[in-house]
Each structure stands twice: as structure tokens, then as C-alpha cells.
């Protein structure tokens, strides 16, 4: 379990003190895939770097598997870090070592005998799908392949936690998908707790169970992915969940607008807009829609323009209110 308690981190800059993290409290359960999402500069990297003390928090506590990280001495910290592996956006492989030696590297640091380390490294390269690249150098690999080697390297010391800082941000969508799938498999098969830092909602959607939304150094929302996605409450969360958002400037004037958010429990064989038309005779038009299927459930939101007729509009609202699996709110044009 990873517990962050009242974490605060400040940076001294020329312009004054910059509060990168402010009173962050989070709990990440064992075996979870936990997403931390936020806009650029929100403090995501700083947060994840506090977990393994690459960044020392100014206040608060980081407890990983019962170890209070900020109280450890240099030696204790090195030992704790062997259980907390990390992968990076820029892969950070050793360019002068071949893949096998890269995967051996953390074992070398820990004093594992060479032949044992190499045997294990070959197993891990097999696990990440690159058994034939053992003798290749990182410069000879594609980005996706480099990240696979980095994942194999991260797994070499049998960590309990895998921290991923924008691990797929340098990759194309297909490769991103494949790497996330690999991370998901590792989580399932090895039971490793995964923390994924990203600014892409699609990444959280694909693999995360729980998510925290970071905005300007604060956690503004946290909960299960389905919960947050279906009903983002804060402006920061809405910006992330509905990047397209409601096109405020172009809203058709003179209509009542309703935003409906699906929370993933409705039956998909009963489409809302069609039902509105058939069952209560209200013809609504879709102004904006951003829905997606996550873990087999429909999530997201739609912006609907209600009929001009006031009675029909009221009827539509009454219908929407009783419709299962969604929340709604009226939006001012």
C-alpha cells in the first residue's frame, strides 16, 4: 500500500517560492492500477518522484509498504527503492550497454551473480516480448521496444510497485495501447501495484481502476475511474474528461440545454435520445457528445438542446431525471 499524507513540496525559484504540491493525501491499494492525471505543470512528476524520494517532500509523509520513506537513511532508501521500480517517458536506458546488460543492471547493483542475473534478464526479455533483442543496443530499437526493455529492467529486482511517469507519452497510439496492455498483464500476473502518471485521459481509461486528478498541485478529485469519468465535479476534472467540452461560444441561443453524464450503469440497448423521442415524444438535438466505453460501460457526457415548446421541454427533463444510470444538470447557454 502506498500512502501519501499531507504532502507538500515547494521549489525555490528566481520568481519566488513555487508550491508544486499542496497538502496531497492519497491511498493506493496493493494490486491497484492507479492513475494520476493532470495538465502539464500540475505537479504529476513531482508527486511520483516523491514516492521514491527522488524529490524530498517539504512536509508530509510517504509510506510505501509500511516504510516511512522520508525517515530512511541513504542505505535504507536504496533498499526501499529496489522494491519501487520506475519507468520514464524518455526510457533512460544505458546507451552503451546492450539490452541484456541493461536488464542486468539493477541486479548488478544489488550484487546478484552475473550468470544468475543474465538468466533472469533473458526470462524478462521474453516476458516483454523481446527475446531476440538481447544483444541489440538501445539505439537499434524503436521507442516501443525501448520501453519494453525499460519495463523488463524495472521488473528485474521483483519490485512491489511500478511507477510510470508518462511512460507512453513518446509513443504512437498503437504502441501506447500495446505497452499499456503489457503493464496491465504485469499487474495481473505479478500482482505489482502500478502508478501511472499521464496527461492523456485515454491512458487512464484503458488500464486504471482508480484515478486522482491533480490540478495546480492539489488533488481536486479522486475515486474509481467510472465514478470520476461519469460525473466529474470540478472544472479541472471536466477539462480532462471532456477535452472537447461544450463549445460555449457556439451554443444555439434560445434553447434550454441539459448536460447528461452517463455513469456506466445504464443498459446500452436503450439509447437515451431515441427513447426520448419514442417514449415521451420530445425531440432533442445533440449539441455535443463525448462518450466512450470503459470496461464495457458507457461513460461520458452529452449536451442536449431541449425542444422549444416549454411543456415538451419539461416532459423531457422529467424523463431524463428518471432515466437509469445518468446524472443531469441544466446548462446556461
Ligand X SMILES: Nc1ncnc2c1ncn2[C@@H]1O[C@H](COP(=O)(O)OP(=O)(O)OP(=O)(O)O)[C@@H](O)[C@H]1O
Name the minimum Å distance from CB 217 to another protein: 21
Name the minimum Å distance from CB 87 to Mg ion: 13
Who's near 278: CB < 8 A, 6+ residues apart? none
Residues contributing to the site for ligand X (CB under 6 A):
11, 13, 18, 20, 38, 40-46, 199
For ligand X, give the closer residue by CB, 45 or 193. 45
Binder of another protein out of 10, 67, 68, 82 (CB under 8 A)? 82
* Residues 113-142 close enough to bind another protein by CB under 8 A: 137-140
CB of 161 within 8 A of CB of 84? Answer: yes
For another protein, give the closer residue by CB, 124 or 284. 124
Rounded CA-CA distance 219/211 in Å is 10
For Mg ion, give the closer residue by CB, 45 or 200. 45
321 is a contact residue toward another protein (CB under 8 A): no
* Residues 140-199 close enough to bind another protein by CB under 8 A: 140, 157
9 is a contact residue toward another protein (CB under 8 A): no
C-alpha cell at 171: 509513443
CB of 294 within 8 A of CB of 205? Answer: yes
C-alpha cell at 152: 523488463
18 is a contact residue toward another protein (CB under 8 A): no
Who's near 56: CB < 8 A, 6+ residues apart? 50, 70
Who's near 109: CB < 8 A, 6+ residues apart? none
When CB distances to ligand X are compared, the closest residue is 45
Query: Using the 8-state DSSP alphabet, how is residue 9 labeled?
Result: E
Residue 315 interaction partner, one of another protein, ligand X, Mg ion, none, beta carbon < 5-8 Å per kind: none
Name the minimum Å distance from CB 81 to another protein: 4
Name the minimum Å distance from CB 154 to another protein: 8
Nearest residue to 259 (alpha-carbon basis) of 279, 232, 281:
232
CB of 299 within 8 A of CB of 291? Answer: yes
For ligand X, give the closer residue by CB, 46 or 230. 46
Who's near 250: CB < 8 A, 6+ residues apart? none
Name the minimum Å distance from CB 260 to ligand X: 31
* Segment interacting with another protein, rule: CB under 8 A, options 9-17, 105-113, 200-208, 322-330: 105-113
Residue 194 pairs in a beta bridge with 33, 162
Residue 41 interaction partner, one of another protein, Mg ion, ligand X, none, beta carbon < 5-8 Å per kind: ligand X
Rounded CA-CA distance 256/314 in Å is 10
Residues contributing to the site for Mg ion (CB under 5 A):
45
* Segment interacting with another protein, rule: CB under 8 A, options 100-108, 171-179, 186-194, 256-264: 100-108
For another protein, give the closer residue by CB, 133 or 238. 133
Name the minimum Å distance from CB 89 to ligand X: 8
For another protein, give the closer residue by CB, 100 or 305. 100
Contacts to another protein by CB under 8 A = 52, 54, 77-82, 84-86, 88, 90, 92-98, 105-106, 108-110, 137-140, 157
Amino acid at each position: 500500500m502506498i500512502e501519501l499524507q499531507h504532502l507538500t513540496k515547494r521549489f525555490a525559484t528566481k520568481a519566488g517560492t513555487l508550491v508544486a504540491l499542496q497538502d496531497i493525501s492519497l491511498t493506493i491499494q496493493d494490486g491497484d492500477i492507479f492513475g494520476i492525471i493532470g495538465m502539464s505543470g500540475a505537479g504529476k512528476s513531482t508527486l511520483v518522484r516523491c514516492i521514491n524520494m527522488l524529490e524530498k517532500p517539504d512536509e508530509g509523509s510517504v509510506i510505501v509498504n509500511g516504510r516511512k520513506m522520508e525517515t530512511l537513511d541513504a542505505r535504507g532508501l536504496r533498499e526501499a527503492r529496489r522494491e519501487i521500480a520506475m519507468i520514464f517517458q524518455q526510457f533512460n536506458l544505458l546507451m552503451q550497454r546492450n539490452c541484456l546488460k541493461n536488464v542486468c543492471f539493477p541486479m548488478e547493483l544489488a550484487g546478484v551473480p552475473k550468470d544468475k542475473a543474465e538468466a533472469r534478464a533473458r526470462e524478462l526479455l521474453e516476458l516483454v516480448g523481446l527475446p531476440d533483442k538481447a544483444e541489440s543496443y538501445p539505439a537499434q530499437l524503436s521507442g516501443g521496444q525501448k520501453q519494453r526493455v525499460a519495463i523488463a529492467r524495472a521488473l528485474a529486482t521483483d519490485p512491489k510497485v511500478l511507477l510510470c511517469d508518462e511512460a507512453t507519452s513518446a509513443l504512437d497510439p498503437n504502441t501506447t495501447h500495446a505497452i499499456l496492455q503489457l503493464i496491465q498483464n504485469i499487474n495481473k500476473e505479478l500482482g505489482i501495484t502500478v502508478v501511472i502518471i499521464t496527461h492523456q485521459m485515454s491512458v487512464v481509461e484503458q488500464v486504471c481502476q482508480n484515478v486522482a486528478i491533480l490540478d495546480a498541485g492539489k488533488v481536486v478529485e479522486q475515486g474509481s475511474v467510472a465514478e470520476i469519468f461519469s460525473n466529474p465535479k470540478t472544472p479541472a476534472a471536466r477539462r480532462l474528461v471532456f477535452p472537447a467540452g461544450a463549445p460555449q461560444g457556439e451554443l444555439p441561443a434560445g434553447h434550454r440545454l441539459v448536460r447528461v453524464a452517463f455513469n456506466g450503469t445504464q443498459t446500452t440497448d436503450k439509447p437515451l435520445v431515441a427513447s426520448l423521442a419514442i417514449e415521451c415524444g420530445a425531440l432533442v438535438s445533440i449539441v455535443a457528445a463525448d462518450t466512450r466505453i470503459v470496461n464495457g460501460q458507457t461513460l461520458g457526457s452529452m449536451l442536449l438542446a431541449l425542444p422549444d415548446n416549454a411543456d415538451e421541454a419539461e416532459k423531457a427533463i422529467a424523463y431524463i431525471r428518471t432515466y437509469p444510470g445518468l446524472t443531469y444538470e441544466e446548462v446556461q447557454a
